[in-house]
Amino acid sequence: MCAQRSEEGISKDEAKEREIRRLEDPPVHRGEYWRADMAVVQQPTQVVTVTTTNRDIGQWSTGVCDCCADMETCCCGYWCFPCMQCQTASMNGWCCCMPMLDFCCVVSCLLRSSIRERHNIPGSFCDDCCKLLWCYTCVWCQMHRELKIRQNRTMSSTVVTSQVMSG
């Protein structure tokens, strides 16, 4: 007996076997497995951004007298020193008006100590106060440069997660 042939030129038995194999070995479709007897639900994608900073023991990125290392900071400190002070305090997370209360360098010493502690830069409060008493403008420029450099070094990575549920 001759097996009946479909329009594609294969017998009904071969077509049935192919259909069974297709259901047993599910193909990959857009990165997801699927089967005729199983529903797949794609959950919404979650995006998580992780920000990290370098927590190693470090040094000041520039010296007290390295004013020419960043001409923008140097010019801002020369032409509009109070503006640079307010911006520096703000970059450290302080109220921008704090430098206006800087009598006897107290606020400046506290800000410099805060920057050192936040970025694990060795030093002492006494050292901070001495530098500010002798080189007030240069130390403020150094703090401003340091915060600008550390802001640019902050690393950010994005993690995308998704969940596929089958039912």
pLDDT tens digits for range 16-47: 888 877 766 655 554 555 555 555 566 666 66
pLDDT tens digits for range 86-99: 999 999 999 999 99
Question: In whole angstroms, what is the distance from residue 145 CA to residue 9 CA?
Answer: 78
- The pair of structure tokens assigned to 16 is 């049935």
pLDDT tens digits for range 92-132: 999 999 999 998 899 999 999 999 999 999 999 999 999 99
If one compares 139 and 51, the residue with the highest pLDDT of the two is 139
- Residue 58 near residue 117 (C-beta atoms within 8 A): no
pLDDT above 60 for 70 = yes
Grouping H, G, I as helix, E, B as strand and the rest as coil, residue 114 is helix
